[in-house]
Copies of this chain bind each other. A is one copy, B any other.
Amino acid sequence: MRAVVTSAPPGEVGVEDRPDPAPGAGEVLVRVRAAGINNADLIQAKGGYPAPAGAPPDILGMELAGEVAALGPGASRFAVGDRVMAIVGGGAQAELAVVHERAAMPVPEGLGWAEAGGFPEAFTTAHDALFTQAGLGPGERVCVHGAAGGVGVAGVQLAAAIGATVVATVRNPSLRAAVEALADGVVAVAPEAFGRLGPFDVVLELIGGPNLPEDVAALATGGRITVIGTGGGAEATLHLGALMGRRARIHGSTLRARPLEDKALAARAVESHVLPLIAQGRVSVPIAATVPLEEAAAAYARFAAGGKFGKIVLMP
């Protein structure tokens, strides 16, 4: 099969032939139709974020959608030909990939391949961070940093869908209108302006260290910050007195390194909560571009350049 692989020099990706994978116990083999590109892929291509044990070490890609092509021993959740989508530890950007059946979700009717291939990583990450980690509830006020990115777009829509009030920070002024159009009542502002719009019950932090002091200062009593990205830097200054006075907490989280049981739980939560929202048309997956798998290098370059709104999805 053809696959997007890391190759020297660091930061460059290529498309090469690799042996077809075979599904193990409880796994399904998926003929990949679409596989989104994520920040973590970019970091991995630069050598900074190795795939977890058990995942293909050199084939990129953390999310995919496609048809079940074969069942491993004992796999029973899906039949050959079913449309599935999933987060994987690696190896998604290829013609074929193996997925544990407990980590896979059905693709809702009406969701196209590109949208399905760009859905799992961002929406599962945002759902886990907002609801499972931070416990966001209806009527709360949430700030989503980096809201024009994949996880941000997901977070804005999910928070609005449960009746939270959303303030979104977006560095690129030309993307703010698109973020505000994601759901009723969303206010998109420059990153420098969010503090005035607090206090916030929840802050979804995708930028990292530089934001943390102002995040804490803008928290309401009982507020929660969930840090799921550190693109702006991983070192932060934390004023413990400010945290104590607000009786607040800071979560750090990643999805990729979790064991199968945790990933399966996250997938079940998304299945039961988010898939119906897609069917109702209340949540959508904006797509910036679809790119043939063979042109992966160009797709990665476009992803790295930023300034886009929506996912860039490789189509094997």
Q: Which residues of A contact B (CB under 8 A)?
A: 133, 208-209, 212, 227-228, 230, 234-254, 257-258
Contact = CB atoms under 8 A, between A and B. Distances in A.
Contact of A212 (B234, B240, B245, B249): B240
A249 B249 CA distance: 7
B245 A252 contact: yes
Nearest to A134: B249
Given A208-B240, A245-B257, A247-B254, 10 more contacts: A227-B240, A230-B244, A236-B240, A237-B237, A243-B250, A244-B253, A245-B252, A248-B251, A248-B252, A250-B250
B247 A249 contact: no
Contact of A249 (B241, B245, B246, B250): B250
Contacts of A236: 237-240
**Oligomer: number of copies:** 2
A238 B239 contact: no
Nearest to A230: B240
A93 to B, nearest CB: 24
A239 B234 contact: yes
> Lowest 8 A-B CB distances belong to which pairs?
A243-B252, A244-B252, A234-B241, A238-B238, A249-B251, A236-B238, A250-B250, A234-B240
